[in-house]
Copies of this chain bind each other. A is one copy, B any other.
Amino acid sequence: MSLRLDFNAPDFEQSFAAFLTTKREVSADVDAIAAEIIARIQAEGDAALIDYTKRFDHLDLSETGIAVTEAEIDAAVASVDPETYAALELAHERITAHHARQMPSDDRYTDAIGVELGSRWTAIEAVGLYVPGGTASYPSSVLMNAVPAKVAGVERLVITVPSPRGELNPLVLAAARLVGVSEIYRVGGAQAVAALAYGTETIAPVAKIVGPGNAFVAAAKRRVFGTVGIDMIAGPSEVLIIADGNNDPAWLAADMIAQAEHDTGAQSILITDDATLADAVEAEMERQIARLPRGETAAASWRDFGAVIVVPDLEDAVPLANRIAAEHLELAMDDAEAFIPKIRNAGAIFVGRHTPEVIGDYVGGTNHVLPTARSARFSSGLTVLDFVKRTSILKLGPDQLRAIGPAAIALARAENLDGHAASVAIRLNMES
């Protein structure tokens, strides 16, 4: 059974604190294997890539080629049914429009004593996007990761996607074509991450790698971090719904299940001030899960990690929500708008009863790559900012150096860095 917590119970704080520290990830010992794979790709390049792909994906790249061809992408696009393709286009258009607003502005100014200062933003030159294979090969993830990179101005955008027994998801190729991805390679796992980071004869190295993947991909990304940039390592997904009594329990149950069907490690949490609604949602979930194709996954997620918290007043939900720091937060209540400013920690907020979280997964326009496992306390969802970097600019003339140079000399001396002091003093004809 999922957890049920009563705010007024004497052990509530203790139970809630324990709930917050629940681990939802399987910690497989995959790091050593990832390290070995990376070392072989570095040493042997394409040959190792071909070998691993034979072993793990049962595919001979020496026959198919490592790169997916334009003809294959053309065929994939042609095979997508028109309704789905139109949905993909709408999603692409809406995500692009939203992310275009995120581009940071350069800043250059002169202060009161004539020092010029500035910040200049430039796009990362080359980015690799890891796309999982098989059932987790989601076209929506391609859009969510690739669009911000494209908006940022990344010139070279490379996809790696494993192709078990040669199969590729046509929608993934169609999404890549829509965004304008430069290159697609049919490789996956730690070997794909290593190829992106260090390069092989076929795949030129990139400067940053983003995108979801299994434990081997995550371990490889951690290992190549420093050589290249990486995005956050995402954990299982979660939703928190704060609901008043005026809700259709079937709607809320559907939203809880949409989260739970992702993964047995996913988490759905309901906080409400209406115990009757809580019961109704739980009953509805049972009914809906029974007829769901991924019902077993949803049932396991709900049983192991689901929770319902009944509070005396919705105000009491505020500190709890800020401690949970949910990836997705639905505000299903009368004046949801007034509730927004109370929320400090959340990846994304879905406001009101007509904004199911699923809209944000696909076509809302906001990004669905969001901080999981309470990391919304210190990090943000994917944005254009993840694909640009900032260079600071400082410019002094002789007058400005005379004005603030002596203070730099004083601090350098206080830190026993006499060479630092000398580099300023020599320009001021001072003794260092």
The copy count of this chain in the complex is: 2
Asked if A396 and B226 make an inter-chain contact with CB atoms under 8 angstroms apart, the answer reads no
Does A208 make an interface contact (CB < 8 A)? Answer: yes
Residue of B nearest to A120 (CB): B340
Docked Cα-Cα span, A414 to B410, in Å, equals: 65
Does A290 make an interface contact (CB < 8 A)? Answer: no
Asked if A411 and B363 make an inter-chain contact with CB atoms under 8 angstroms apart, the answer reads yes
Residues of B within 8 Å of A45, CB to CB, are none
Does A261 make an interface contact (CB < 8 A)? Answer: yes
Asked if B419 and A139 make an inter-chain contact with CB atoms under 8 angstroms apart, the answer reads no
Docked Cα-Cα span, A414 to B172, in Å, equals: 11
Docked Cα-Cα span, A187 to B251, in Å, equals: 52
Q: How far is the CB of A149 from chain B (nearest CB, A)?
A: 12
Does A365 make an interface contact (CB < 8 A)? Answer: yes
Residues of B within 8 Å of A345, CB to CB, are 122, 125, 389, 391
Residues of B within 8 Å of A120, CB to CB, are 340
Q: How far is the CB of A201 from chain B (nearest CB, A)?
A: 15
Residues of B within 8 Å of A165, CB to CB, are none
Does A204 make an interface contact (CB < 8 A)? Answer: no
Asked if B87 and A365 make an inter-chain contact with CB atoms under 8 angstroms apart, the answer reads no
Does A97 make an interface contact (CB < 8 A)? Answer: yes
Asked if A415 and B139 make an inter-chain contact with CB atoms under 8 angstroms apart, the answer reads yes
Q: How far is the CB of A77 from chain B (nearest CB, A)?
A: 14
Residues of B within 8 Å of A116, CB to CB, are 351
Asked if A261 and B420 make an inter-chain contact with CB atoms under 8 angstroms apart, the answer reads yes
Residues of B within 8 Å of A87, CB to CB, are 406-408, 410-411, 414
Asked if B426 and A254 make an inter-chain contact with CB atoms under 8 angstroms apart, the answer reads yes
Tell which of B258, B352, B385, B416 touches A395, judged by Cβ atoms closer than 8 Å: B352
Query: Given that A135-B416, A254-B422, A392-B367 are known contacts, is A208 also in contact with B378, CB under 8 Å in the complex?
Result: yes
Asked if B394 and A251 make an inter-chain contact with CB atoms under 8 angstroms apart, the answer reads no
Does A202 make an interface contact (CB < 8 A)? Answer: no
Does A79 make an interface contact (CB < 8 A)? Answer: no
Question: Mask for A360-387, Cβ within 8 A of B = 1, else 0?
Answer: 1111111100110101111111010100
Docked Cα-Cα span, A223 to B406, in Å, equals: 41
Residues of B within 8 Å of A102, CB to CB, are 119
Residues of B within 8 Å of A336, CB to CB, are 395
Docked Cα-Cα span, A83 to B413, in Å, equals: 11
Does A228 make an interface contact (CB < 8 A)? Answer: yes
Docked Cα-Cα span, A408 to B361, in Å, equals: 8
Tell which of B349, B351, B408 touches A358, judged by Cβ atoms closer than 8 Å: B408
Residues of B within 8 Å of A90, CB to CB, are 404, 407
Asked if A255 and B411 make an inter-chain contact with CB atoms under 8 angstroms apart, the answer reads no
Asked if B356 and A407 make an inter-chain contact with CB atoms under 8 angstroms apart, the answer reads no
Asked if A366 and B117 make an inter-chain contact with CB atoms under 8 angstroms apart, the answer reads yes
Docked Cα-Cα span, A373 to B376, in Å, equals: 29
Which residues of chain A in 78-98 are interfacial with respect to chain B, using CB atoms and an 8 Å cutoff? 83-84, 86-88, 90-91, 94, 97-98
